[in-house]
Chains A and B, each alone.
Chain A
């Protein structure tokens, strides 16, 4: 055994040594996977805590509700017009996109009879969800701002965001309706109620958690993205006040301008923290609502 030609690293080992080696390799592999998991945990925690640590002393109540001040403009004061603009854009987007997505999701999951048609539409919607947001920005600029002559305005940006939200919402709504047991539908319909009654009184009540999750995802995505509103809705500075035909400031584009024009990194840290904290709080409250809210869990 010991004099045999060495064909492989394990050729001159006894059985128990091979066994020990493979156990060792297995342990190393598991350690490597734990390490991957650890990095996956460390990244978000360290990014968030870095932003909190650097930004927390720059954020105050007056930072939230004040207007940008100083020379150059934005080095002092607050970010209220950006907060206001982001909220208005997201609300318009949601107001337009939600009814469309709800209708679309209901049709696909409850009314549509043709499997082929449903599959095709679902495919198109998933394509729509995958299109990068900068392309929505291009489309919004060419179609809404230039072609329809909306100009760079709240309404143009809101509609672009609606377009971005629509596929996210529709997929969430369709999935949460689809995950409801068919027994509920059969029971309801055999009692002789209409489909609409069934949808209103049974299906939507069972699906609302999934729908809320979809709204959170869509709104979070829309509030955070700067690329689609950069050419359709946003302006460097505004004195506040909203109008559908007027441009607005938004949090992401304000952050981008503060950094790219090197106006003020102090203010940028504050803005980034407000944006992140807003999104996290919004997410957390929706999760809480889903936990505490009435109705049976799926």
Chain B
């Protein structure tokens, strides 16, 4: 009797834990959906908006104080594009190089030193990067390039490159390490050089993983806020060169949100830009996911 009771209690407590853990999972995941829905709701995007998308993205300037006020985000996404492109242009070659170095060339003790070093680089908060860029680059740019104020897209891109570098490098290293060892041995057995193996074997085999590394860096760079806010200059003019000031999307959001009347046109425009950013990043994530799965399937085959 007692044993029966005990068994029953155990069974029920196990079932309860299962239910509780499911509930925990559901609660957490529900918030992702809530977040998407809520940002969309606050932006009041509808059919009318889709008609105005061109105005919003390209034609109108950002001039909330003008009469009538207009809320176009052309200057913001151009700045985002410039800064992101610049940072990836620097971080991808260097990151792939570090990845190759870690997986193919570096002796074991060097790998053991490099790994925590890259983790430290990834762990430095964005605001500290912004501050670091401000006290090192911004001040020197004022004298080097004879600028009245040193903040510009170039500096934001440079610092952003350092910020995404560890993510690109470690994902690339993982991709190179994932290439089967016997492929390397076969190639070396044919008497070719290491350069040849890297170029013709490793790069091709690791390609999906390398794409994932790029996509990860892209998602990071697009969403980075504090560093670009502090370094890009924060003006609403459309930038024409790398030494111009600009205002990436994330910087626009941070600058304006605090002083915006809730549910005003400007508020909706800000949430609409946030929603666009969210959708782009989620799209990139879907791409990473597909690449990873294709990569896994191929390496199992």
Contacts and interface: CB of A to CB of B under 8 A. Distances in A.
Interface in A119-170: 121, 123-128, 130-139, 141-143, 146-147, 163, 166-167, 170
Interface in B230-279: 230, 250, 253-254, 257-258, 262, 270-271, 274, 277-278
A29 interface: yes
A119 to B, nearest CB: 9
A276 B13 CA distance: 44
B148 interface: no
A106 to B, nearest CB: 5
**A interface bracket (residues with beta carbon within 8 Å of B):** 35 or more
Contact of A103 (B23, B110, B114): B23
Nearest to B16: A196
Grouping DSSP codes into helix (H, G, I), strand (E, B) and loop, the B interface class, with mixed when no group exceeds half, is: helix
A255 interface: yes
A205 interface: no
Interface residues of B, number: 87
Contact of A255 (B127, B250, B270, B284): B127
A253 B24 CA distance: 31
A227 B226 contact: yes
Interface string A103-126: 110111011000000000101111
A141 B296 CA distance: 39
Contacts of B198: 29
A296 B81 CA distance: 49
A133 to B, nearest CB: 7
Contact of A37 (B98, B121, B125, B257): B98
A217 B167 CA distance: 14
Contacts of A292: none
B250 to A, nearest CB: 5
B39 interface: yes
A138 B253 contact: yes
Contacts of A110: 21
A14 B42 CA distance: 73
Nearest to B118: A40
Nearest to B94: A36
Interchain residue pairs A-B with the least CB separation, the first 10: A132-B223, A103-B24, A224-B125, A36-B97, A104-B25, A103-B21, A37-B101, A107-B21, A194-B14, A26-B193
